[in-house]
Amino acid sequence: MKKLLFFILLLIPAMTVLSQIEQHVSWNFSVNKISDTQVEVVCVATLDDGWHIYSHNLPENTAFPTMITFNESDYYKAVGEIVEDPKPEVHYDESFKAELKWISKKASFKQIVEVKGEATIEGIIEYMICNDENCMPPTEENFSLKIGGGSTATTVTAKAEVAESAESAISDHQNETNNKSYWGIFWLAFIGGFAALLTPCVFPMIPMTVSFFTKQSASKAAGIRNAVIFGVSIIFIYVVLGTSVAAIFGADALNALSTNPWFNTFFFLLLVVFAISFFGAFEIVLPSSWVNFADKKSDKGGFIGIFFMAFTLALVSFSCTGPIVGSLMVQAASGGFMGPIIGMLGFSLALALPFTLFAAFPGYLNSLPKSGGWLNSVKVVLGFLELAFAFKFLSMADMVLDLHLLEREVYFAIWIAIFGALAFYLFGKIKLPHDSPMDHIPVSRFLFGLVVLSFTIYMIPGLWGAPVKLISGFPPPRDYAESPLGVGREIPESTFISSGGVDNHGGMPEGMYPGPQNIPAFHDYDLALAYSKKVNKPLLLDFTGKACANCRKVEDNVWSDRSIQDILTNDYILVSLYVDLRTKLPEDEIYYSETLGKKVKYIGQKWQEFQQKRYQQGAQPYYVMTFTDGTTIDKPLAYEPNIDRYKKWLLEGLEEFKKR
């Protein structure tokens, strides 16, 4: 049973998620003057290594050919055939079971156009690119080239400039968000490392290990050097673990935690097992042969011996550190490829620091508290925290499946019970198997108990609709509840009496519902766009997810601001598109998506494809402001927890809308 639990732990990072759409081709558009009445439009594709683009001349029912289509105009007209440079190569394509023509690396597609005086030639080029393993879905690029005054210079379409600028801004913002996320992972793991230090498996090892280095070393400097090597070895072992997880499963497999209900359910069960282990029901240990092997190697001495001493520590302390490392891996998985690496760096750094510092200053060892029953109490406290966090994953699975079994009130009731029980434990009213008898409660434990009790009381108003911002992102949103305003309260109709919340007849528009923070919102894009046209207000697309923690943080901490609420309610038409909703589409609406490479069976998949196909983004939250015709107003916005910056973005979009 113990070995089985260990191997289950190793399966933690086996996750999948949607990655953002890859771009393997870039385009450049130009025009060459041939005569006063003719020009040549040149579309040049530069492809990544291994990728190819298909010719415009292909057999039917095979790949998608490259086609240039010009907008209808009285001032220009395409003549003749498309000329390709270089000449396409002919290959037998196993995927399409036919001989096809394609071009690799760099391809030019040229079209003669007759013009009348000055004109702006507008059109699109449609194409498909593949490599030896897969194909990207058919894609199109717009171009706009101005003719006149003898100029033959390349002009980039205004739409392309806006897209490029927006993409750059999104990329910069995403990098900033990623940096914040990495720091969050690091500090969470660092705190987890210090928590692991205060467990019965690790804490007694500090004086033992440091004493060994100081006694066995020829000098104080040698002892410090050996302790540093020991600490660096600990860091190396855990970082290698994080790197191995990232390398084996890859970035694309490390983010399903936020959307996949079955993995979330698995993590819930796993954390419950960890919690029960910390409560003292059983221990999760590694096979003894592993520990014995590492212990024998540590007798060799020198660098190798010290390294295996660190390895032995990691194996021996697994029953205490394993659940913490497993939980951290789950959290760090949201950071993509670098998440587990950064997480293990933070954890191991906190774990290694005391060994190195106390080796340098052994006199301070006397200031360490002695081992005793308090170490088991630390394990139990960690068990309560593991149990509380477990329900976060169960909540995400429940929301994605839209079962409404763990709604906001139930979630708060469970957390209140867990932290209330923790407070009683700290006050000595609850005893668990390995607890030592106590004649009195230490002052530090009593004060910590008061903090936990205060936190428990703080959560109680959440049952009646309080925002409880200290834990925003953990409980379900307020619209996922028995009553969005709290137990026993109903939403008054006046909530929707605003210029954006009622139709001309004074009733709720079709498809509108009380959204996050009770802001009137739509679930369906088409209904929202139609209503946006009707009331002549910009549309705010909120690409979100039932299991998206950052989405909840924006809703709880930013949208809860009164000025933001007023703007979203009165000046915008909000449509929240949940990309992970598992509600099935009607049979006649199921279709195959080239973008996703599979059938779209669920409403969430429909909005997921919509986001990727139109905006080339797959992350949530993701906010897009549009005009009433659906075109983008300004650069979209990713996760933004700052109220002032979010408000500025909304107001700038509103100003652009009014100018049109």
Task: Please tell me the distance from the alpha carbon of residue 135 to that of residue 138, in angstroms, as a whole number.
Answer: 9
Region for residue 509 given its phi and psi (left: phi exceeds 0; alpha: psi -120 to 50; beta: otherwise):
beta
Please tell me whether residues 361 and 212 are part of one structural domain: yes
In this structure, is residue 255 part of a structural domain? yes
Which is it for strands 139-147 and 573-578: parallel, antiparallel or unpaired? unpaired
Residues 153 and 299 in one domain: no
Statement to judge: residues 316 and 223 lie in one domain: yes
Do 293 and 349 have their domain in common?
A: yes
Query: Which pTM value belongs to this model?
Result: 0.49
Q: Is residue 381 part of a domain?
A: no
- Both 201 and 294 in a single domain? yes
What's residue 157's pLDDT? 37
Provide, rounded to the nearest whole percent, the portion of the chain with pLDDT above 90. 14
Is the model's pLDDT at 122 over the cut of 80? Answer: yes
Poorest-pLDDT segment among 134-138, 493-497, 514-518 = 493-497
Averaged confidence pLDDT in the chain:
76
* Rounded Cα gap, residues 395 and 360, in angstroms: 47
* pLDDT for residue 326: 66
Using DSSP's 3-state secondary structure scheme, residue 80 falls into strand
Distances (CA, A) of 228 to 256, 268, 315, 377: 38, 38, 20, 30
Residue 444 lies in a domain: no
Same domain, 654 and 514: yes
Q: What are phi and psi of 319, to 5 degrees?
A: -60, -25
* Single-letter amino acid code for the residue at 509: P
Lowest mean pLDDT among 167-176, 430-439, 478-487: 167-176
Boundary of a domain, candidates 372, 395, 425: 372
More confident residue, 472 or 506: 472
Give me the residue label for tokens 């040229």. Answer: 110
Q: Give the model's pLDDT for residue 170.
A: 43
pLDDT of residue 356: 76
* DSSP state at residue 589: G
Domain tally, the chain? 3
The helix (run of H) or strand (run of E) holding residue 573 is strand 573-578
Residue 619 is which amino acid?
A
Tell me, yes or no, whether 142 and 254 share the same domain: no
| CATH code, domain carrying 503 | 3.40.30.10
Tell me which of 193-202, 230-239, 444-453 is least confident: 193-202
- The answer to whether residue 572 scores a pLDDT higher than 90 is yes
Question: Is the CB of residue 13 less than 8 Å from the CB of residue 254?
Answer: yes
**pLDDT number for residue 617:** 78
Using one digit for the tens of pLDDT, what is the confidence trace for 144-165?
Answer: 888 764 433 343 333 333 334 4
DSSP helix/strand/coil, 301:
coil
Report the interhelical angle of 318-332 vs 158-197 (nearest 10°).
170
112 and 246 housed in the same domain: no
Is the model's pLDDT at 291 over the cut of 60?
no
* The pLDDT of residue 226: 77
Residue 210 banded pLDDT, cuts 50, 70, 90: low
CATH number at residue 52: 2.60.40.1250
* pLDDT category of residue 138 using cuts at 50, 70 and 90: low
Residues 621 and 505 in one domain: yes
pLDDT surpasses 60 at 288: yes
Average pLDDT rounded to a whole number, residues 276-283: 81
Please state the length of the chain.
660
What is the per-residue pLDDT across 14-70, written as a single tens digit (0 to 9) for each?
A: 333 333 334 678 888 888 888 878 888 999 998 888 888 989 888 876 777 888 888
| Beta partners for residue 125, in sequence order | 68, 141
Q: What does the pLDDT look like over 424-467, one tens digit per residue? A: 999 999 988 888 888 888 898 999 999 999 999 999 988 887 77
Dihedral-angle region of residue 428 (phi above 0 means left; psi in -120 to 50 means alpha; beta otherwise): left
Non-local CB neighbours of 564 within 8 Å, separated by 6+ positions: 558, 643, 646, 647, 650
**Would you give the DSSP letter of residue 498?**
S
> Is residue 118 a part of any domain in this protein?
yes
Question: Does residue 239 sit within a domain?
Answer: yes
Asked if residue 103 is part of any domain, the answer here is yes
Which residue has better confidence, 568 or 93?
568
Q: Identify whether the C-beta of residue 27 lies closer than 8 Å to the C-beta of residue 141.
A: yes
pLDDT single digits (tens) 30-39? 888 888 788 8
68-117 pLDDT, tens per residue? 888 888 788 888 888 898 888 888 765 556 788 889 889 999 998 888 87
For residues 123 and 252, membership in a common domain is answered with: no
Task: Please name which of 481, 294, 296, 323 lies closest in space to residue 389, comparing C-alpha atoms.
Answer: 323
If one compares 137 and 653, the residue with the highest pLDDT of the two is 653
Provide the residue type at 420 as one letter: G
- Local structure of residue 597 (DSSP, 8 states): T
Domain range for residue 298? 184-372
Q: Flag whether pLDDT at 422 surpasses 90.
A: yes
Q: Tens digit of pLDDT for each residue in 302-341?
A: 667 777 777 777 766 666 666 667 666 666 555 555 767 7
